[in-house]
Amino acid sequence: EVQLLESGGGLVQPGGSLRLSCAASGFSFSSCAMSWVRQAPGKGLEWVSHISGGGGTTYYADSVKGRLTVSRDNSKNTLYLEMHSLRADDTAVYYCAKASGSGNQPFDSWGQGTLVTVSS
């Protein structure tokens, strides 16, 4: 059974930093691209970043370029999101999502999310 477990969320001040993790199990992690998707309170889904199965290709939403960095450690079956220069509009539940292949295939599993709150 595929399991994705996010962690690392919490309260951070504007301008601060945070690192999210997504521990994966139940599938061949290195064979699957992964994405981070966020959802602000009461709002819709917003894709944040994508990383290929091998980690060599990354893409970002315009709203986070230069501030958020996605990475993965395939030896630990873990996906990361480094977040810097955080702003109030980064407040959201952050989900990791597994793609059905190593590239831009659709998501077939989602984690339960971790809440990031940016506030003073």
Partner 1 sequence: SYVVTQPPSVSVAPGQTATITCGGNNIGSKSVHWSQQRPGQAPVVVIYYDRERPSGIPERFSGSNSNSGQTATLTISRVEAGDEADYYCQVWDSSSNQWVFGGGTKLTVL
Query: Which of 95, 114, 116, 118: binder of partner 1 (CB under 8 A)?
Result: 95
Say which amino acid occupies 28.
S
Burial class of residue 15, CB neighbours in 10 A (0-12, 13-18, 19+): exposed
> Closest by alpha carbon to 79, among 115, 31, 116, 29?
29
Numbers of helices and strands, H then E, in the chain: 0, 11
Residue 7 interacts with partner 1 (CB under 8 A): yes or no: no
Residue 27 interacts with partner 1 (CB under 8 A): yes or no: no
Residue 77 interacts with partner 1 (CB under 8 A): yes or no: no
C-alpha angle with apex 41: 37 to 46, nearest 5 degrees? 25
In angstroms, the CA 100 to CA 104 distance is 9
Query: Which of 61, 67, 69, 101: binder of partner 1 (CB under 8 A)?
Result: 61
Query: Which of 41, 62, 89, 120: binder of partner 1 (CB under 8 A)?
Result: 62
Residue 106 interacts with partner 1 (CB under 8 A): yes or no: yes
Query: Which of 21, 113, 115, 117: binder of partner 1 (CB under 8 A)?
Result: 113
Residue 35 interacts with partner 1 (CB under 8 A): yes or no: yes
Please report, as ranges, the residues that interact with partner 1 according to CB under 8 A. Answer: 35, 37, 44-47, 50, 59-62, 95, 97, 100, 104, 106-108, 110-113
